[in-house]
Amino acid sequence: MAALRRLLADFTGRYGVGVTVYVAVALFIWVVLLIILPQLAMIETSFRHNLPPDAVGGPTDVLTLSNYRYFLFGNGEAVNTLDLGVLAKTVLASVFVTLLDIVLCYPIAYILAHSATGLAARLMVIGLIVPFWVNEILRAFAFRVIFGSTGLVNGVGMSLGLWDTPVDFIRADVALYSGLTYTYILLMIFPIYNAVEALDRSQIEAARDMGASWLRVHWRIVLPAAKPGIASGATMVFMLTAGALAAPQILGGPSSLWFTQLVYQWFNEAGNWPRGAAYAAILLVTCLGFVLLMMRLFRVNIGAIGR
């Protein structure tokens, strides 16, 4: 509390009482009203029975673990391998998309921070930002067209003789992973860029003058500086990929099922809000647990990610 009071006093002295009150109210609305309370309501709903409106608040409206038990065992005693498998696939696919984004965005962020200057840097930024003026759903449909049987990828591949008949990239989930990788690419580039930009260029030049290869320079100098940015970008990309709905709905193949689609089905198609809330809570806890585990494994704290 003492640290918080010092922070508030410093902020008030720097920006004035009006700005401080505005920021405090905005943070309260954002964090408490729009994040914490809805999550608590969802968790509380997940422990309820799916009752008709006239039975809510009655003697049968009691707390229950049946919704979580259904996730684990379905309607019987056997393990619910379908839903558990969908959750595992969603987490692994989100990890794969996150790793793809890291591999693609690290060199772009480094070039943007230390190599591109003037017009080249501005063109790179414009080229990264302008495509995202298009709605996410429209971009997903664009990827479906590009990877379709008569799309650009199949057309180029067949014209070059790489394959004779159209490849079903939709069923193979290539379109889905490509679309998700592209959707969150900016959330990976700019955190890495912010971290790498602060790196003193003279350290890289000194290492090069001493004969270090580019691989060694990046491994020993650039990557440690970029680590907080990579952790921040990876956290955002992983969480948003695991929680994506539009892209899996549009780009997923017939046998592909994202865990968010199960949540959507329970809420909207089955009309079972308590079970949908339980599935949403399971996804939230799983993703948070995975992120905290990775932070501990790679020795990155929340303060480094916040910077």
| pLDDT tens figures, 142-164 | 999 999 988 899 999 999 988 88
Q: Is residue 177 in a domain?
A: yes
Question: Would you state the pLDDT for residue 147?
Answer: 93
Per the domain annotation, does 8 fall within a domain? no
31, pLDDT greater than 80: yes
Domain membership flag for residue 216: yes
Does residue 155 lie within any of the structural domains?
yes
Given a contact cutoff of 8 angstroms between Cβ atoms, the answer to whether 6 and 237 are in contact is no
Half-sphere exposure in the Cβ direction for 199 (13 Å, CA): 30
For residue 226, tell me if it sits in a domain: yes
Q: Determine the pLDDT at residue 280.
A: 95
Over residues 229-245, the pLDDT tens digits come to 898 899 999 999 999 99
The pLDDT of residue 300 is 73
Question: Looking at 4-8, 177-181, 284-288, which range is the least confident one?
Answer: 4-8
Which domain, by its residues, includes 155? Answer: 80-306
In a domain? residue 68: no
Query: Do 109 and 196 meet the contact criterion of CB atoms below 8 Å apart?
Result: yes
Q: Enter the DSSP assignment of 168.
A: -
Report pLDDT digits (tens) over 90-128: 999 999 999 999 999 999 998 888 777 778 888 888 888
In a domain, 289, yes or no: yes
32-89 pLDDT, tens digit per residue, is 999 999 999 999 999 999 988 888 888 888 999 999 999 999 887 789 899 999 999 9
Supply the pLDDT for residue 304.
61
Task: Report percent pLDDT > 70 for the chain.
Answer: 97
Nearest residue to 136 via CA among 301, 249, 224: 249
Task: Tell me how far apart the alpha carbons of residues 262 and 280 are, in angstroms, rounded to a whole number.
Answer: 9
Q: Look at the pTM and tell me if it is higher than 0.95.
A: no
**What pLDDT band is residue 307 in, cutting at 50, 70 and 90?**
low
Confidence of residue 281 (pLDDT cuts 50, 70, 90): very high
The C-alpha angle 185, 190, 191, rounded to 5 degrees, equals 105
The DSSP letter of residue 34 is I
In this structure, what CATH number is given to the domain that contains residue 299? 1.10.3720.10
Is residue 3 included in any domain, yes or no?
no
The full length of the chain comes to 307
**pLDDT the model gives residue 95:** 94
Domains of the chain: total:
1
Q: What's the pLDDT at 5?
A: 77
